[in-house]
C-alpha cells in the first residue's frame, strides 16, 4: 500500500474512532471532526517522506489514545459520574 493510501486509511480510522468514542456527545463529535480535518488539511502539501511518517505515527498514537483512554460519563449529581 502506497503512502497516500496509508494516509487516507488513517484519516478514515480516526473518524471511525471519533464516532465510536464520542457517539452520544454531539459537541465532542463535531470538535473532533473539525480537528482531524484541520490537521490533515494543514499538512496536505507535505512532501517529505520522513515528516509524513512522523505525522502518521502521531495520528496512530492519537487514535490509540482515543480508543483506549477516553471514557464518556454522565453527571448523576454534583460530584458523581456514571460511565456510558
pLDDT per residue as tens digits for the range 8-42: 999 999 999 999 999 888 999 999 999 999 999 99
Q: Which three cell numbers stand for residue 43?
A: 499538512
Work out the angle at residue 29's Cα, subtended by the Cα atoms of residues 24 and 30, and round it to the nearest 5 degrees.
135
Residue 32: HSE in the Cβ half-sphere, 13 Å Cα cutoff: 23
- pTM equals 0.85
Mode of pairing for the β-strands spanning 80-83 and 73-77: antiparallel
Could you state, in order of their start, the residue ranges of all structural domains in the chain? 3-83
Amino acid at each position: 500500500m502506497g503512502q497516500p493510501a496509508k494516509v487516507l486509511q488513517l484519516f478514515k480510522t480516526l473518524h471511525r474512532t471519533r464516532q465510536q468514542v464520542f457517539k452520544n456527545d454531539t459537541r465532542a463529535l463535531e470538535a473532533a471532526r473539525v480537528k482531524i480535518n484541520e490537521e490533515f488539511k494543514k499538512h496536505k502539501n507535505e512532501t517529505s517522506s520522513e515528516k509524513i511518517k512522523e505525522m502518521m505515527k502521531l495520528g496512530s498514537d492519537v487514535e490509540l489514545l482515543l480508543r483506549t483512554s477516553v471514557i464518556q460519563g454522565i453527571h448523576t449529581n454534583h460530584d458523581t459520574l456514571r460511565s456510558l
